[in-house]
Amino acid sequence: MPFDAPDKSKNPDYRDKFQISKQCAIKKITEIMTRELVGVDESTSIEDTLELIGKYRVHNFPVVDKDYRLKGVIDQNIVLELLFHDRLPSSSHTHLTAVRSLGEDAKSIMIPHPLTVSHDTSLCETVDMMLKHNINHVWVMDNNKLIGVVTKHDIINEAYRTRNKE
Protein backbone atom coordinates (compact mmCIF):
# COMPACT_ATOMS: atom_id res chain seq x y z
CA MET A 1 0.00 0.00 0.00
CA PRO A 2 1.40 3.42 -0.88
CA PHE A 3 2.42 5.65 2.00
CA ASP A 4 0.35 8.54 0.66
CA ALA A 5 -2.89 6.53 0.60
CA PRO A 6 -5.85 8.30 2.20
CA ASP A 7 -6.67 7.14 5.73
CA LYS A 8 -10.15 5.67 5.37
CA SER A 9 -10.17 4.34 8.94
CA LYS A 10 -11.55 7.65 10.27
CA ASN A 11 -14.62 7.36 8.04
CA PRO A 12 -17.45 5.64 10.03
CA ASP A 13 -18.98 4.15 6.85
CA TYR A 14 -15.68 2.50 6.05
CA ARG A 15 -15.44 1.04 9.58
CA ASP A 16 -18.95 -0.46 9.26
CA LYS A 17 -18.02 -2.06 5.97
CA PHE A 18 -14.83 -3.41 7.50
CA GLN A 19 -16.75 -5.36 10.18
CA ILE A 20 -18.35 -8.62 9.09
CA SER A 21 -19.55 -9.90 12.46
CA LYS A 22 -23.18 -9.82 11.37
CA GLN A 23 -22.56 -12.12 8.41
CA CYS A 24 -20.34 -14.60 10.24
CA ALA A 25 -23.12 -15.77 12.56
CA ILE A 26 -24.94 -17.52 9.73
CA LYS A 27 -21.93 -18.92 7.88
CA LYS A 28 -20.90 -22.45 8.86
CA ILE A 29 -17.25 -23.32 9.24
CA THR A 30 -17.57 -26.14 6.69
CA GLU A 31 -18.13 -23.49 4.02
CA ILE A 32 -14.56 -22.23 4.32
CA MET A 33 -12.56 -25.12 5.77
CA THR A 34 -9.82 -26.94 3.92
CA ARG A 35 -10.93 -30.49 3.22
CA GLU A 36 -7.77 -31.91 1.69
CA LEU A 37 -5.59 -32.77 4.65
CA VAL A 38 -2.19 -34.36 4.88
CA GLY A 39 -1.84 -36.31 8.07
CA VAL A 40 -0.19 -39.29 9.58
CA ASP A 41 -1.26 -42.44 11.36
CA GLU A 42 -0.29 -42.82 15.00
CA SER A 43 2.20 -45.56 14.11
CA THR A 44 3.99 -43.60 11.35
CA SER A 45 7.70 -43.46 12.09
CA ILE A 46 9.26 -40.12 12.96
CA GLU A 47 11.48 -40.40 9.88
CA ASP A 48 8.44 -40.84 7.59
CA THR A 49 6.62 -38.06 9.45
CA LEU A 50 9.52 -35.66 8.95
CA GLU A 51 9.69 -36.62 5.26
CA LEU A 52 6.01 -35.72 4.82
CA ILE A 53 6.46 -32.47 6.71
CA GLY A 54 9.33 -31.57 4.39
CA LYS A 55 7.24 -32.44 1.33
CA TYR A 56 4.10 -30.45 2.20
CA ARG A 57 3.98 -26.80 3.16
CA VAL A 58 1.57 -27.00 6.06
CA HIS A 59 2.14 -25.86 9.61
CA ASN A 60 0.35 -28.66 11.46
CA PHE A 61 -0.10 -32.32 10.76
CA PRO A 62 -3.05 -34.18 12.23
CA VAL A 63 -2.38 -37.56 13.76
CA VAL A 64 -5.33 -39.88 13.17
CA ASP A 65 -6.26 -43.48 13.78
CA LYS A 66 -7.53 -45.85 11.09
CA ASP A 67 -11.07 -44.45 11.46
CA TYR A 68 -9.92 -40.82 10.94
CA ARG A 69 -10.47 -39.94 14.58
CA LEU A 70 -8.16 -37.09 15.52
CA LYS A 71 -5.67 -38.23 18.13
CA GLY A 72 -3.25 -35.32 18.14
CA VAL A 73 -1.25 -32.81 16.15
CA ILE A 74 2.38 -32.43 15.20
CA ASP A 75 3.26 -28.78 14.76
CA GLN A 76 6.34 -26.91 13.58
CA ASN A 77 7.55 -26.32 17.14
CA ILE A 78 7.73 -30.05 17.78
CA VAL A 79 9.60 -30.59 14.52
CA LEU A 80 12.12 -27.88 15.39
CA GLU A 81 12.59 -29.37 18.87
CA LEU A 82 13.29 -32.78 17.33
CA LEU A 83 15.66 -31.52 14.67
CA PHE A 84 17.53 -29.10 16.93
CA HIS A 85 17.15 -30.68 20.36
CA ASP A 86 20.80 -29.96 21.16
CA ARG A 87 20.19 -26.23 20.57
CA LEU A 88 17.25 -25.88 22.96
CA PRO A 89 17.96 -23.48 25.80
CA SER A 90 18.29 -25.29 29.11
CA SER A 91 15.05 -23.68 30.31
CA SER A 92 13.24 -25.57 27.52
CA HIS A 93 14.58 -28.97 28.55
CA THR A 94 11.48 -30.45 30.10
CA HIS A 95 10.35 -33.98 30.69
CA LEU A 96 8.11 -33.66 27.64
CA THR A 97 10.89 -32.54 25.28
CA ALA A 98 13.07 -35.39 26.57
CA VAL A 99 10.31 -37.95 25.97
CA ARG A 100 9.67 -36.55 22.49
CA SER A 101 13.37 -36.66 21.62
CA LEU A 102 13.33 -40.41 22.33
CA GLY A 103 10.06 -41.04 20.49
CA GLU A 104 9.83 -43.47 17.60
CA ASP A 105 6.44 -42.76 16.08
CA ALA A 106 3.95 -39.96 15.52
CA LYS A 107 1.97 -40.88 18.62
CA SER A 108 5.01 -40.37 20.85
CA ILE A 109 5.68 -36.80 19.66
CA MET A 110 2.19 -35.43 19.00
CA ILE A 111 0.29 -32.86 21.03
CA PRO A 112 -2.74 -34.75 22.34
CA HIS A 113 -6.24 -33.25 22.55
CA PRO A 114 -6.09 -30.48 19.91
CA LEU A 115 -8.85 -27.88 19.80
CA THR A 116 -11.72 -28.89 17.56
CA VAL A 117 -15.07 -27.59 16.41
CA SER A 118 -18.09 -29.41 15.12
CA HIS A 119 -18.92 -29.20 11.42
CA ASP A 120 -22.01 -27.13 12.17
CA THR A 121 -20.18 -24.47 14.20
CA SER A 122 -20.62 -20.92 12.95
CA LEU A 123 -17.74 -18.83 11.69
CA CYS A 124 -18.33 -16.36 14.57
CA GLU A 125 -18.05 -19.11 17.20
CA THR A 126 -14.84 -20.34 15.61
CA VAL A 127 -13.35 -16.84 15.49
CA ASP A 128 -14.28 -16.33 19.15
CA MET A 129 -12.48 -19.56 20.12
CA MET A 130 -9.39 -18.72 18.08
CA LEU A 131 -9.14 -15.22 19.55
CA LYS A 132 -9.78 -16.41 23.11
CA HIS A 133 -7.14 -19.17 22.96
CA ASN A 134 -4.74 -17.34 20.62
CA ILE A 135 -4.58 -20.25 18.18
CA ASN A 136 -3.96 -20.23 14.44
CA HIS A 137 -6.15 -23.14 13.39
CA VAL A 138 -8.93 -25.46 14.54
CA TRP A 139 -9.73 -28.95 13.38
CA VAL A 140 -13.26 -29.60 12.08
CA MET A 141 -15.01 -32.78 13.17
CA ASP A 142 -18.14 -34.65 12.12
CA ASN A 143 -19.25 -37.68 14.15
CA ASN A 144 -15.84 -37.79 15.87
CA LYS A 145 -14.04 -37.96 12.52
CA LEU A 146 -11.66 -35.36 11.14
CA ILE A 147 -13.10 -33.70 8.04
CA GLY A 148 -11.11 -30.48 7.73
CA VAL A 149 -9.14 -27.61 9.18
CA VAL A 150 -9.71 -23.87 9.36
CA THR A 151 -6.84 -21.44 9.73
CA LYS A 152 -6.75 -17.75 10.52
CA HIS A 153 -5.69 -17.24 6.91
CA ASP A 154 -8.89 -19.01 5.70
CA ILE A 155 -11.01 -16.78 7.93
CA ILE A 156 -9.27 -13.58 6.86
CA ASN A 157 -9.75 -14.51 3.19
CA GLU A 158 -13.43 -15.23 3.79
CA ALA A 159 -13.87 -11.94 5.65
CA TYR A 160 -12.25 -10.07 2.78
CA ARG A 161 -14.49 -11.82 0.19
CA THR A 162 -17.63 -11.20 2.26
CA ARG A 163 -16.74 -7.56 2.83
CA ASN A 164 -16.15 -6.94 -0.87
CA LYS A 165 -19.48 -8.52 -1.90
CA GLU A 166 -21.46 -5.82 -0.16
Q: Give the torsion through C-alpha atoms of 23, 141, 128, 152, to 10 deg.
A: -80
Q: Which residues of the chain have pLDDT under 70?
A: 1-22, 91, 93, 164-166
Task: Tell whether 146 is covered by a domain.
Answer: yes
Domain of 127? 27-165
- Cβ distance 135 to 115 under 8 Å? yes
56/40 Cα distance (integer angstroms): 12
Task: Tell whether 8 is covered by a domain.
Answer: no
Task: Tell whether 11 is covered by a domain.
Answer: no
Number of domains, the chain: 1
Q: pLDDT tens, 27-45?
A: 899 999 999 999 999 999 9
- Cβ distance 126 to 138 under 8 Å? yes
- Cβ distance 70 to 63 under 8 Å? yes
Query: Could you tell me the CATH number of the domain that includes residue 151?
Result: 3.10.580.10
The pLDDT value recorded for residue 114 is: 93
Task: Tell whether 19 is covered by a domain.
Answer: no
Closest CA to 96 of 83, 112, 115: 112
pTM for the whole thing?
0.79
DSSP assignment string, 9-24: GG-HHHHHHH--HHHH
Task: Tell whether 13 is covered by a domain.
Answer: no
Contacts of 104 (CB under 8 A, 6+ apart): 45, 46
The pLDDT value recorded for residue 81 is: 83
Task: Tell whether 16 is covered by a domain.
Answer: no
> Quick one: how far is CA 28 from the chain centroid?
17
DSSP 8-class letter at 27: -
